[in-house]
Amino acid sequence: MTSSQSHWQESVNSVALGIRRRVLRHTLDNNGGYLSQACSSAEALATLYGKLMHLGPSVGPATPAPFPGVPGPDNPNYFTGAAYNGPHGPEFDRFFFSPVHYALVLYAALIETGRLGEKGLDHFNKDGSTVELIGAEHSPGHEVTAGSLAQCLSQAAGIAWARRSRGESGHNWVFMSDGEFQEGQTWEAFAAMHFHHIDNLTVVVDANGQQCDGPMDGVGGVEPLGDRLRAFGAVAVEVDGHNLDALVRAAATEHVARPLVIIARTDPCHGLEALRARGPKLHYVRFKDEAERAEYRRILEGM
């Protein structure tokens, strides 16, 4: 292994650890948070930002701007949070974030990668802030409004079609959760991408097997997800979503005239073993009492 290889892995691992620590601290300070999502997706998001995506430096303000009012004909001041993913340009990649209840995790990833100021989370879920609980397109790191789930992929596919028609070299990355594969629109999008030969798009799925009501296999099935995706004309690769090398290798899979899907099999308690005791429902974590909170504070101090 050359030193440059070990360097990126060290740096991506440190971003992933930083995401977990930051989200855990926030969950402790606010007595609630989407903590299991940080545990499952930290490596995938850190690898996307640290290794896979070709992005320019953030052009968003270090201190997130307040909410500028909803978009409309009388509001020239509206902006999207895409500025934190760097400037738009034909050569640059674009990032589309679909499961926006993971917003806290994305904000943490932006801070850890130096794209958002250290104090960005101070604005989280505060009235008048863009750092919203469920991210919308004005929220840091977000480009489209995706909160009702499964709409982001179709929007990104339209953008990918448009970029291909202009001959742009930049790739389009979509981050999704596995629960979104229960929505019919997701499959409509894959059918359309296959039909239109859209291959400048890669989906990374945080397959943590969790949804709001609990473990996915008790709510509804999306498995075998890889086979289903291949039947819909995508190239699908399944990897350990906590293994950086496996994620990077998967992203290099050839996918001519088809989108690539990286199914990142993840553990919603990865790096935070104590969380498993709270199962099987892990969607949103709010500590039961002071004793549990103290336990997690001790864990944070040791991380």
Partner 1 sequence: MVEQVTRPHARNLVRFARAHPEVLVLSADLTASCEADDFRTAFPDRFLSMEMAEQNMMSFAGGLAREGFRPHVHTFAVFICRRPYDQIAMSIAYPNLPVRLIGFLPGITTPGGVTHQANDDLALMRVLPNMTILECGDATEVESVLDAAHAIAGPVYVRNLRGQVPRLFPAHDPMVLGHCRELSPGRELLLITAGITTEEGLRAGAALREKGVELGHLHISTIKPFTDPQVAAALCTTKRGVIVLENHSVIGGLGSAVAETMAELGCGVPLVRLGLQDTFAHGASKEYLMRKYGLDALAVVGAAERLLRKEFGIDESVLAAVPVTAVTGAKAEDL
User: Does residue 99 belong to the site contacting partner 1 (CB under 8 A)?
Assistant: no
Contact characters 159-178, partner 1, x per CB under 8 A: xxxxx--x------------
Selected range binding partner 1 among 13-21, 52-60, 121-129, 140-148, rule: CB under 8 A? 140-148
Among 9, 11, 13, 145, binds partner 1 (CB under 8 A): 145
Among 51, 196, 197, 283, binds partner 1 (CB under 8 A): 196
Q: Nearer to partner 1 by C-beta: 145 or 243?
A: 145
Q: Which of residues 43-82 bind partner 1 (CB under 8 A)?
A: 70-73
Sequence-separated (6 or more) residues with CB below 8 Å from residue 143: 80, 81, 82, 85, 94, 95, 96, 97, 137
- Site for partner 1 (CB under 8 A): how many residues? 33
Burial class from Cβ neighbours inside 10 Å (0-12, 13-18, 19+) for residue 45 reads buried
CB of 115 to partner 1, least distance (A): 21
> For the chain, what percentages of helix, strand and coil (3-state, to nearest 5) are there?
45, 15, 40
CB of 189 to partner 1, least distance (A): 5
Q: How many CA atoms lie within 13 A of 269 on its CB side?
A: 11
Sequence-separated (6 or more) residues with CB below 8 Å from residue 225: 178, 181, 205, 207, 236, 238, 263
Q: Nearer to partner 1 by C-beta: 147 or 271?
A: 147
User: Does residue 83 belong to the site contacting partner 1 (CB under 8 A)?
Assistant: no
Name which of 152, 147, 171 is nearest 160 in CA terms.
171
Q: Nearer to partner 1 by C-beta: 16 or 159?
A: 159
Phi, psi of 20 (to 5 degrees): -60, -45
Q: Which residues bind partner 1 (CB under 8 A)?
A: 70-73, 136-137, 144-148, 151-163, 166, 184-185, 188-189, 191-192, 195-196
